[in-house]
Amino acid sequence: MKDAAPRTIRLSEYSPPAYLVDDVQLTFRLIPLATRVLSRISFRRNPDGDGGPLRLDGEGLKLISARIDGAEVQPKLLTDGLEIDAPDTFVWEAEVEIAPQENTALSGLYMSNGMYCTQCEAEGFRRITYYPDRPDVMAPFTVRIESDRPVLLSNGDPVEQGDGYAVWQDPWKKPAYLFALVAGDLVAHSDHFTTSDFREVTLNIWVRPGDEDRCAYAMDSLIRSMAWDEEHYGRAYDLDVFNIVAVDDFNMGAMENKGLNIFNARYVLASSDTATDTDYARIEAIIAHEYFHNWTGNRVTCRDWFQLCLKEGLTVFRDQQFSGDERSHAVKRIEDVTLLRARQFREDAGPLAHPVRPQSYIEINNFYTATVYEKGAEVVGMLRTLIGPDAYRKALDLYFERHDGQACTIEDWLTVFHDATGRDLTQFALWYEQAGTPTVTVDSRVEDGELLLDLTQSIPATPGQPDKAPQVIPLTVGAIARDGTEALKTTLVELTEAQQTVRLPITATDVVPSVNRGFAAPINLQQTLSQADRALLLAHDTDPFNKWDAGRVLARQALIAMVRDGTASDATYLDALAPVIEDDTLDPAFRALVLALPSDDDLAQALAAEGHTPDPMVIDTARSDMARAMAERLEPILAALYDDLRVKGPYSPAAVDAGKRSLRNAALSLLTKIDGGARAQTQFNTADNMTDSVAALSALLRNGFGEDAANTFYDRWQNDRLVMDKWFSLQVMTAPGETGVATAARLTEHPAFDWKNPNRFRSVFGALGGNHASFHAADGSGYDLLADWLIRLDPLNPQTTARMTTMFETWPRYDDDRQRKAQAALRRIAATEGLSRDTAEMLARMLD
Ligand code: TRP
Ligand code: ZN
């Protein structure tokens, strides 16, 4: 399906649609290889359009018939749609045939385990029928499904059902990307919710028979999300039913289709014996995310795909707030920033860097990125920090009031904030336009009872953007006195110039500044502090994020010294760590994060940023030596934690118990380095929940005594697809040194390696990417193995293939030999006959 000339779509070339749609009526006659889709669409010329013929998108459709106002017509068929001259208002009717059974791309209407389902974002609807498949065309949909499957679902509310058919009506205007249909043999886990405006809503989570006892946590998360959005944003649900369907074959996490969310089964199904605490937390966050889209995305949608961050950045920000409220703000913030640095900073520092609002794309699916999502959320958070929570709420109220039912832009969004607060946001808008992570340097001194900060900011060049203007950076600053007391409460400083000096009143003469508290701005901070200064912050900072980050910087610096100079692990760091780990006034979940070392990839990123060439094996060895040194130095503390934190009573996924398990398992991971695996083996044999079982198995595997445990695990779980994904990925991720490549290769031979299932494919190859030393094996075998499999997957599933090429995005960091090998692997993929537009675009950007 290679396109003759892949077209670059530019934001600057946006033009309104020639026609608008007033009403859509669809009939589906579902047959695996010959589904018929009948459409009846009322069109009206757009007064703001530029005239011209009717142009409908369509991809891989067999047109059976087309009529305009009842008269048969012969439209001009194009490779990506059709065109026909049409009157100012008319009714379009078409019948097309598609083959969902043959749809391996998992975009449009496809089948998963005999179930029909859809994925239309971003441009999947055009694979279902001819339509103006762009988000600024919004219409109410009525859908009739004819099928022998027992459960037939679409958007909105059910209006009629009978033998072999059902009719659904969605009264809310929506773009086609929010269309959804499901037909299958499904069972529901049901509940209900009464909204603040007294609407009785039926809630259903639809799953395959046998999975119905794993839906309780997702349902609980949904109900809490609905209540939270009413309380914190004044947003209530707006239909009589809310359906969620779990699907095994899915390209991403989940999809917010109006009234019918479709989820990757792994983000719905959970029971204590099959899901870890991390799984539970993700389910909660993703259920909330998709639910929150009902207002931020669906009721107010995007004008075009360049505005993707309008819905995604805001909705991620909202789900982060929610998880923080439900669990712990400190822990959630540290986890979110860890992810931001690992994914988004990495993206920003490499060949795929792009602004939160990109200027152009070839394939929009390639822009569902950490930058659009995670940095997009940071930008919303900075707006809130700059204007304060009350003004933020006022602005959001105005946003919903003004733009309900509209397809909007970032300009609309910023205008709302301007109108609500009077604040000029011209400079702030640069956060949406300029790629790259700003570096802020801080020099500080105390003068006349004031803390003086000399601040500079600079933003590195990124592809297509050599020069950058200074941005508005909200820096939150506090200070800790030498005696450990707080000498300056958190104060907001607005850095707007390339260089700026600020003076802040302090209550002590000798202080350590605590800058960018709560990680208020997504920046790289360069602050010259001594190890003693950092240890003081780790011990005494009242800001939990900076307390944690002080420890993280100490760990990073110690590890970098080990890597660069071959020094032994650093005593200052270990000494500073001990009292924090022991302090039982601190949340165990927080202490577990303090105990976690930066990943190999983090260290490679840090080394590259300092102009060094990272050596993956040296990094791996240093990190492992450090872990052993921690275990030896902290052994009595870790052993006591391990014994004391055992959670008694029945399993609960709630944050308190999960936090205890995370600290206890962090202790286990270190202790296994020095106890011969005794504790891990016992824990593996006796664990009554998946969190403890996986923690024990990982510890055993990492230290080379996990083979029996892995076999036992397999025997027990071989019929459970989600647990088997863990079995695959754990082995690859924990394989020592460069052996992860051989492990991954061996696992692809396993009969359970169903490579057409994206979760299973990722469980091996995503895990290989997570095993830094293995993926970057010196002989290039990691690159070659991945390239082989991406070449194989691309013709079936371009979206997942293109996404997984990002494992290569860091290639310019490494030595010449690895660079050559990575580039050769990329060129080999690029040279593949018939390569998808998705993958081709990614490779071009990485090789450019
Ligand atoms: N809009 C979805 C979300 O953020 C994600 C999404 C975009 C998606 N494209 C997709 C999901 C394709 C599945 C497949 O929640
Ligand atoms: Zn989303």
pLDDT at 1: 45
Q: Are strands 76-78 and 62-68 parallel, antiparallel or unpaired?
A: unpaired
Instruction: Locate the ligand 1 atom nearest the alpha carbon of residue 368 and give its number.
Output: 7
Cα–Cα distance measured from residue 615 to residue 821, given in angstroms and rounded to the nearest whole number: 15
Tokens 């045939």, located at residue? 97
Other Cβ atoms closer than 10 A to 53: 13
Q: Which atom of ligand 1 is closest in space to residue 124's alpha carbon?
A: 12
Atom of ligand 1 nearest to the CA of 373: 4
Report the distance separating Cα 846 and Cα 826, nearest Å.
Answer: 8
Atom 3 of ligand 1, residue of closest alpha carbon: 255
For the whole prediction, is pTM greater than 0.95?
Answer: yes
Distance 194 CA to ligand 1 centre (A): 28
Q: Ligand 1 centre and the CA of 176: distance in Å?
A: 14
Query: Distance from the CA of 337 to the center of ligand 2, in angstroms?
Result: 18
For ligand 1, atom 13: residue with the closest CA: 252
| 365 alpha carbon – ligand 1 mean position (Å) | 9
Q: How far is the CA of 795 from the centre of ligand 1 (A)?
A: 21
3-class secondary-structure state, position 522: coil
SS3 519: helix
Q: What pLDDT, on a 0 to 100 scale, did the predictor assign at position 266?
A: 98
- Average pLDDT of the segment spanning 821-838: 98
Ligand 1 atom 2: the closest Cα is on which residue? Answer: 255
Q: Which atom of ligand 1 is nearest to the CA of 297?
A: 1
Cα torsion angle, 145, 149, 155, 159, sign? positive
Share of the chain above pLDDT 70, in %: 99
Ligand nearest to the CA of 247: 1
> How many Å apart are CA 665 and CA 642, to the nearest integer?
8
Q: Tell me the pLDDT tens digit for each residue of 387-438.
A: 999 999 999 999 999 999 999 999 999 999 999 999 999 999 999 999 999 9
The rounded mean pLDDT for the chain is 98
Measured from the Cα of 286, ligand 1's closest atom is 15
573-611 burial, b at 16+ Cβ within 10 Å, e below that, comes to bbebbeebbeeeebbbbbbbbbbbbbbbbbbbbbbbbee
- Residue 803: nearest ligand to its CA? 1
Give the contacts of 307 (CB within 8 A, at least 6 positions apart): 357, 408, 409, 410
Sort 8 into a burial class: Cβ within 10 Å, 0-12 / 13-18 / 19+.
Answer: exposed
Q: Are 20 and 47 in contact (CB under 8 A)?
A: no
127-168 pLDDT, tens per residue?
999 999 999 999 999 999 999 999 999 999 999 999 999 999
Task: Tell me 599's DSSP state.
Answer: P
Band (pLDDT 50/70/90 cuts) for residue 4 is low
Residue of 264, 319, 368 to mutate, ligand 1, most atoms within 8 A of C-beta: 368
| Nearest atom of ligand 1 to the alpha carbon of 290 | 15
Task: Please determine, for residue 252, whether its predicted confidence score (pLDDT) is greater than 70.
Answer: yes
Ligand 1 closest atom vs CA 293: 15
Which atom of ligand 1 sits closest to the CA of residue 253?
Answer: 11
Reduced 3-state DSSP string for 687-702: CCCHHHHHHHHHHHHH
Q: Are 437 and 475 in contact (CB under 8 A)?
A: no
The rounded Å distance from CA 223 to ligand 2 centre is 19
Smallest Cα–Cα separation from 738: which of 619, 627, 628? Answer: 619
Band (pLDDT 50/70/90 cuts) for residue 570 is confident
What is the whole-number distance in angstroms between the Cα of residue 552 and the centre of ligand 2? 30
Tokens of 513: 């500044």
Type and span of the H or E element at 759: helix 758-770
Residues whose CB is less than 8 angstroms from the CB of residue 711 and which lie 6 or more positions away in sequence, other chains included = none
Best residue among 106, 118, 121 to mutate for probing ligand 1, ranked by most atoms within 8 Å of CB: 121
- Atom index in ligand 1 nearest the CA of residue 106 equals 14
Residue nearest to atom 10 of ligand 1 (CA): 121
Q: Closest-lying ligand to the alpha carbon of 122?
A: 1
Residue whose tokens read 């990492």: 702
Closest residue by Cα to atom 1, ligand 1, is: 255
Q: Which ligand is nearest to the CA of 255?
A: 1
How many whole angstroms from 255 Cα to the centroid of ligand 1? Answer: 5
121 is catalytic: no
Angstrom distance (rounded) from CA 319 to CA 373: 12
For residue 569, name the pLDDT band (cuts at 50, 70, 90): confident
Six token digits for residue 18: 């020639």
Q: Which of 133, 255, 264 is the pocket-test mutation for ligand 1 (most atoms within 8 Å of CB)?
A: 255
Q: Which ligand lies nearest to the CA atom of residue 377 in the structure?
A: 2
Mean pLDDT value across residues 443-451: 96
State CA 784 to chain mean position distance: 27
Contacts of 395 (CB under 8 A, 6+ apart): 383, 387, 416, 417, 420, 421
Q: How far apart are the first and last CA of the chain?
A: 24
Residue closest by Cα to atom 9 of ligand 1: 121
Neighbours of ion ligand 2 (CB under 5 A): 312, 315
Q: Distance, CA 775 to ligand 2 centroid (Å)?
A: 29
Cα gap 140→122, rounded to integer Å? 19
Distance 337 CA to ligand 1 centre (A): 22
**How many other β-carbons are positioned within 10 Å of the β-carbon of residue 221?**
24
Over range 531-558, report the average pLDDT.
98
Q: Is the dihedral of CA 45, 49, 53, 58 positive or negative?
A: negative
List, for residues 370-394, the tens digit of each pLDDT value: 999 999 999 999 999 999 999 999 9
Choice from 248, 252, 318 to test ligand 1 binding pocket (greatest atom count within 8 A of CB) = 252
Closest residue CA from atom 5 of ligand 1: 255
- Which residues contact ligand 1 via a Cβ below 6 A? 119, 121-122, 251-252, 254-256, 289-290, 312, 368
Q: Is residue 638 within 8 Å of 670, Cβ to Cβ?
A: yes
For residue 571, the model assigns a pLDDT of 87
Read off the pLDDT of each residue in 595-607 and give the average, rounded to a whole number.
98
Q: Could you tell me the strand order of the sheet in which 473-481 lies?
A: 486-495, 473-481, 511-515
Please name the residue whose Cα sits nearest to atom 7 of ligand 1.
121
Is there a contact between 765 and 799 (Cβ–Cβ < 8 Å)? no
Instruction: Please name the helix (run of DSSP H) or strand (run of DSSP E) that holds residue 82, with its range, or none.
Output: strand 81-84
Q: Which of 284, 290, 326, 486 is catalytic?
A: 290
How many Å lie between the centroid of ligand 1 and the Cα of residue 258? 13
On the CB side of 91, CA atoms within 13 Å amount to 11
pLDDT digits (tens, 9 = 90+) for 5-26: 689 999 999 999 999 999 999 9
Task: Return left, alpha or beta for 259; rule: phi > 0 is left, psi -120 to 50 is alpha, else beta.
Answer: left
- Tell me how many degrees the CA angle 821-826-832 measures, rounded to the nearest 5: 130
